[in-house]
Structure formats: C-alpha cells, structure tokens
Amino acid sequence: QVILVESGGGVVQAGDSLTLSCSMSGRSFTYNGMGWFRQAPGKGRELVATISWNGDRSEYADSVKGRFTISRNNAENTLYLQMRSLEPEDTAVYYCAASQYSSITMYEYQYTSWGQGTQVTVSS
C-alpha cells in the first residue's frame, strides 16, 4: 500500500518560517517526480512546487517564488517544503503528491498518489 504522510504544519505568524515533510512508504518513489499542492478555504487545489526525480529541476507557483524551496532525500524517501516569509495568504491545507512521471509535473491529474494533508495557518 502506497502511503504519503505530511507533517510539520502548524500555526505561525506572518514572517515566520516552517518546513513541511512528506514521508513516503509502500514502495520507492525514487523515480517519481513529486509535488506540493495547497488548498485554501473556499478555493481549489493549486500546485505550489514540483521537483524532478533526482532533484535537478524544480518549478514554483509565482506566489511562492523566492520564499519556498522544494527538496527531496531519495535515500530516506522524504520530500520537503521549506517555507520562509510566510504570509496570511499561505494559509491552506498542504498536500504532497507523487507524479506518474519522473520529471517536474505541473498538472494535478498527472499525480497518482496523495497524502492526507497538513494544515498551515499564518496569522497576521
């Protein structure tokens, strides 16, 4: 059984930093592109960042460029999202997901495995 488990969410103040982790089990995700998505209250789910299987390429939503960094440790089957200078607009449930492709993957329908999400709340 494939399992993705996010952790590291919480309540922080604007300007703070937070690092999310996604632990992957059930099989190796070494050759899968990975992504972080988020869903704010009343809004659809959006791609935050995506990374290729070996970490040599990544892409970010314009709203988080320069503030968020996606990374992965394939030896530990773990995906990370470092978030800095957090803003109230970053408040959302954050999900990690595994792509059916090895490259960076931009579209939600191309992801085949999902975690349950972790809540991030940024107060002003």
Q: Which residue has the tokens 């803003």?
A: 87
Find the mean pLDDT for residues 10-31: 94
What confidence tier does 46 reach under pLDDT thresholds 50, 70, 90?
A: very high
Residues 50-71: tens digit of each pLDDT = 999 999 999 999 999 999 999 9
pLDDT, position 41: 92
Please state, for a pLDDT cut of 90, what percent of the chain lies above it.
94
CA–CA separation, 90 vs 112, rounded Å? 24
pLDDT, position 26: 87
CA–CA separation, 117 vs 97, rounded Å? 10
